[in-house]
Amino acid sequence: MGIKFDESKRIFKLDAKDTSYLFHVTDSNHLLHMYYGKYVEDTDLYYLLRLGDEKFVPAVHDAMGPHSFDCAPLEYSTSGVADFREPCLQVMDKKGMSACEIQYVSHKIYDGKPKITGLPATFANKDSDCQTLEINCIDKHLNLEVVLIYTVFNELDVITRSVRLKNASDDTIHIRRVLSTCIDFDTIDMDMITLQGTWARERHVQRGKLRHGKQSVDSIRGASSHSLNPFVALVSPDATEDVGEAYGFSLIYSGSFLALAEGTQYEKTRFVMGLNPYDFDWKLDPGAEFEAPEVVMVYSDEGIGKMSRTFHDLYRNHLIRGKYKDVRRPILINNWEATYFNFDTDKLIDIARESADLGIEMLVMDDGWFGKRDDDTTGLGDWVVNENKIKGGLKNLVEEVNKLGLKFGIWFEPEMISPDSDLYRAHPDWCIHVDGRKRTTARSQLVLDMSRQDVRDHVYGQMKEILSSANIEYVKWDMNRQITEMGNEILPADQQRELWHRYMLGVYDMLEKLTTDFPHILLETCAGGGGRFDAGMLYYSPQIWTSDDSDAIERLKIQHGTSLVYPVSTMGAHVSDSPNHIVGRKTPFKTRGHVAMVGTFGYELDVTKLSEDDKNDIREQIIEFNKYNELVRTGDYYRIGDPFANSRFDSWMFVAKDKSEALVEYIQVLKVPSLFEHRIRLKGLDPKARYKDEETGNIYGGDTLMNAGILIPKLHGDFQSHIIHLMKV
Ligand code: GLA
């Protein structure tokens, strides 16, 4: 494993666990991509670089003969120099010209993985986990240094890429676009899988055949967004959960992004991913550097399932940080759907008392405890306890909750400001806005300019005061709208287009400060549900609120899609009321528990109003959660059902890393009459081991369970659930 450079052939070979990635430095010092896929032993894949018989394209000459940038598999595409496909890098020089061409200068290979200044990124736990290659390139005309950074993980099929630019000239250069990865695949015969949705319906899976031309997912909203996730998988047409090739790309960034696949005239595909070039321009003064975010690339030769498990292992071990990285999270109860804005100290203590009796471990006080906020039209920005509601103050409330045996958590929406707030009255210029234009509100709020240090200092100061004033052990960091009228009155005209990225750098700066100053706090991020569920956020918060839709049946699709990339241990999932507040669907308590158990697990309903039956269900669910959480959090996750393809059922399972134990969950979505017991085939078990079904006592061979399958007992009614716990004997 690791990275090699064959000096005589001028070939770089990057080997991750079972993956190889090769590219060549031509005599003209251009970088040509040769291969990305399953591990191969050979280094000399030069024969793969063919010349087409194209005649009418601009040509460059090198050892390969006359060939065109437009046909060559480029390692990193630049604009304006005879490659008409999607460029990764576009700049503008002092004369307004934008041609750019990079050539290899030198490289270095070292153990470990560098950080990216101010940005989240995956990391090595020890230097021997990874090797890194930095390729120093230059545009000689501009004197722009372009460093292509690759890291391979030795134990995972993961290669990461990012890019660093340095202006080595005496003149200002404007970066018009800088994407982080570029792969020229030798085929167009692939399917593209993306995650689409909206509020309360996030990350639904969509798959389609690649076509000629450009197909993309993106966000220009300033947040990664509900509607499209910064993730793409390019898979072989035959790929299923278990077979076929899958290339997964995940961007470690939470703002506006672009991921684009372009089917070209020569039946090939270019894929690029990174910061969205839309409305982007970064002024790079002489000597200045710019670092682009990281793209994680996962290769799987065993279908989409293995791709997901690789992402899960990477993100669980090399992205998530902090106290809660590897431990069971407290079972929480959040008062949002129980009370909305209508609560006070007494109500919260009633909920806490009942919760303590049921075995719940933490009370989270959601929106409405601060300023004059009794609905969603006021108060954001005024992070001062409203003592009309929180009678006796916050410290007293937290102490009372702690006395009942529960931890205490609190909600903030730090990036926002209500026009009806003391903060806005004092600083109407602190929000993102274009002077003289209407300030569009969404949910009656505006966005604070997080690029400004003074704004961040003020908001953080208030948060710090609150968090230091009582024994607070959890924070929910929400973000309930996207950015419009992007502008401020601070940056000069030629830097206004930097704001999208500067905003994200500001948010990350504040998140870093929060997690450094309060390392004991469990942070859960959120954005109107799952509007910023991305790998960038996972660097700061080990869990993210998956969706405001906690209906168990809606969650099947949402959690299935989310699990394509993100570990289930990161998915905030709660048991909430039935009928569900958003879709009005009635589901059994047991099913709601089984679906929430896949995620971080908690409750979001008024426990003071539950029947004894429901309370007993909660007690049983908590026993089950405690019993299985280690396996769910740390095991390998296998999708068995597909809620997008089948309305009868969904099913998934967890297998311990040592294959000693497995948990199968089965949800009967719609009851179909006159059928036999449903036989499903399990996955990931040790074929040679024997497993005992804990409930029935039946013993099966691992190979039997995976090939012949297991029977799910007949369940009566829609929305029923069943679990099977298997132990190796
Ligand atoms: C968002 C969140 C909810 C809740 C509300 C409070 O919608 O996703 O969970 O916190 O805000 O206003």
Cβ-contact 654, 643 below 8 angstroms: no
- Nearest-angstrom CA–CA distance, 523 and 543: 7
What is the predicted pLDDT for the residue at 56? 57
Percent of the residues in the chain that have a pLDDT greater than 90, as a whole number: 95
CA 223/CA 237 separation, integer angstroms: 31
Q: What is the DSSP string of 626-683?
A: HHHHHHHHHSEEEE---TTT-SSEEEEEEE-TTSSEEEEEEEE-S--SS--PEEE---
Q: What domains sit in the chain, N to C, each tagged with a CATH number? A: 2-318 (2.70.98.60), 332-413+451-479+519-634 (3.20.20.70), 649-728 (2.60.40.1180)
pLDDT digits 0-9 by tens, 357-372: 999 999 999 999 999 9
Residue nearest to ligand 1 atom 7, measured at CA: 528
Task: Answer whether residue 142 shows pLDDT above 80.
Answer: yes
CA 607, chain centre distance (Å): 32
pLDDT at 651: 98
pLDDT tens-place string over residues 65-92: 666 788 889 999 999 888 999 999 999 9
Count the neighbouring beta carbons within 10 Å of the beta carbon of residue 338.
22
Residues contacting 71, CB < 8 A, separation 6+: 51, 52, 54, 57, 266
Residue 651: partners with Cβ closer than 8 Å, 6 or more residues away: 640, 641, 664, 665, 666, 667, 680
Residue 128 in contact with residue 145, Cβ under 8 Å?
A: no
Q: Give me ligand 1 centre to Cα 366, in Å.
A: 8
| Distant-in-sequence, close-in-space partners of 112: CB < 8 Å, separation ≥ 6 | 124, 127, 129, 130, 131, 132
Query: CA–CA separation, 654 vs 664, rounded Å?
Result: 7
Residue 544: name the closest of 591, 592, 599, 597 by CA: 599
Q: Which of 598, 595, 614, 599 is nearest to 667 (CA)?
A: 595
| String of DSSP letters for 121-166 | ----SSGGGEEEEEEEEEETTTTEEEEEEEEEESSSSEEEEEEEEE
* Helix, strand, or coil (residue 53): coil
The Å distance, Cα 101 to ligand 1 centre, comes to 47
pLDDT of residue 7: 97
Residue 420 CA to ligand 1 center (angstroms) comes to 19
Confidence check: pLDDT of 431 > 90: yes
Question: Which atom of ligand 1 is nearest to 376's Cα?
Answer: 12
Non-local (6+) Cβ contacts of 213 within 8 A are 262, 263
Burial of 262 (0-12, 13-18, 19+ CB in 10 A): buried
Report pLDDT digits (tens) over 202-251.
999 999 999 999 999 999 999 999 999 999 999 999 999 999 999 999 99
Question: Six-digit token pair at 671?
Answer: 């009851």
List the structure tokens of 114: 């560098």
Answer yes or no: are the C-beta atoms of 218 and 276 closer than 8 Å. yes
Please determine, for residue 321, whether its predicted confidence score (pLDDT) is greater than 60: yes
At residue 55, does pLDDT exceed 80?
no
What is the position in ligand 1's atom list of the atom closest to the CA of 476? 10
Which is it for strands 228-235 and 213-218: parallel, antiparallel or unpaired? unpaired
- The residue whose CB lies within 8 Å of the most ligand 1 atoms, and thus the one to mutate among 225, 334, 366, is 366
Query: Residue 226 C-alpha to ligand 1 middle, in angstroms?
Result: 14
The answer to whether the peptide bond before residue 73 is cis (omega within 30 degrees of 0) is no
pLDDT, tens digit, 9 for 90 and up, residues 162-181: 999 999 999 999 999 999 99
Q: Which helix (H) or strand (E) holds 710?
A: strand 710-712
In this prediction, residue 54 carries a pLDDT of 64
Estimate the crossing angle of helix 345-358 against helix 393-403, to 10 degrees: 20
The mean pLDDT value for 26-51 works out to 92
Counting Cβ atoms within 10 Å, is residue 426 exposed (0-12), middle (13-18) or buried (19+)? exposed
Question: What value does the mean pLDDT take over residues 458-470?
Answer: 98
Residue to mutate (ligand 1; options 477, 548, 576; most atoms within 8 A of CB): 548
- Compute the radius of gyration of the chain from its Cα atoms: 27
Q: Is the pTM of this model over 0.95?
A: yes
Ligand 1 atom closest to Cα of residue 604: 9
pLDDT score recorded for residue 470: 98
- d(Cα 15, Cα 22) in Å, to the nearest integer? 9
- Per-residue pLDDT band for 60 (boundaries 50, 70, 90) equals low
Separation CA 10–CA 225 (nearest Å): 42
Give the pairing of strands 474-477 and 407-412.
parallel
Minimum-distance ligand 1 atom for the alpha carbon of 526: 8
Pocket test for ligand 1, best of 332, 333, 336 (most atoms within 8 A of CB): 336
Q: Whose CA is nearest to atom 11 of ligand 1?
A: 528
CB atoms within 10 A of CB 97: 12
The neighbour count for residue 296, using CB atoms within 10 Å, is 29
Angstrom distance (rounded) from CA 581 to CA 570: 23
For residue 201, the CA-to-ligand 1 centroid distance in Å is 15
228 vs 553: CA distance, rounded Å: 21
C-alpha–C-alpha distance, residues 29 and 77, integer Å: 14
Q: What share of the chain is helix, strand, coil (3-state, %, to 5)?
A: 20, 35, 45
pLDDT confidence tier of residue 27, bands split at 50, 70 and 90: confident
Q: How far is the CA of 457 from the centre of ligand 1 (A)?
A: 24
Q: Give me ligand 1 centre to Cα 475, in Å.
A: 13
Neighbours of 723 (CB within 10 A): 18
User: How distant, in Å, are the alpha carbons of 12, 16, 24, 645, 693 from that of 7?
Assistant: 9, 20, 10, 50, 57
- What does the pLDDT read at residue 49? 87
Catalytically active residues are 478, 548
How large is the angle between the packed helices 499-517 and 453-468, nearest 10 degrees? 20
Pocket test for ligand 1, best of 343, 373, 475, 480 (most atoms within 8 A of CB): 480
Considering only CA atoms, which residue is closest to atom 2 of ligand 1? 528
On whether the CB atoms of residues 122 and 314 are closer than 8 A, the answer is yes
Atom number of ligand 1 nearest to Cα 366? 10
Determine the pLDDT at residue 383.
98
**Amino acid, res. 156:** L
| Mean pLDDT value of segment 275-292 | 98
Which has the closest alpha carbon to 546: 568, 515, 576? 568
pLDDT at 62: 58
Q: Which residues contact 626 (CB under 8 A, 6 or more apart)?
A: 328
Q: What is the mean pLDDT of the chain?
A: 96
Give the model confidence (pLDDT) of 432-460 as tens digits: 999 999 999 999 999 999 999 999 999 99
Residue 413 CA to ligand 1 center (angstroms) comes to: 9
Residues in the chain: 729
Q: Ligand 1 site: residues with CB under 6 angstroms?
A: 336, 366-367, 411, 478, 480, 526, 528-529, 545, 548
The residue contributing the CA closest to ligand 1 atom 1 is 528
- For residues 668-673, give the mean pLDDT: 96
Please, which residues have CB within 8 angstroms of residue 704's CB and are 6 or more apart in sequence? none
The C-alpha atoms of residue 401 and residue 410 are separated, in whole angstroms, by 12
Assign 711 a pLDDT band (cuts: 50, 70, 90): very high
What are 673-694's pLDDT values in tens digits? 989 999 999 999 999 999 999 9
Residue 298 banded pLDDT, cuts 50, 70, 90 = very high
pLDDT band at 64 (very low <50, low <70, confident <90, very high): low
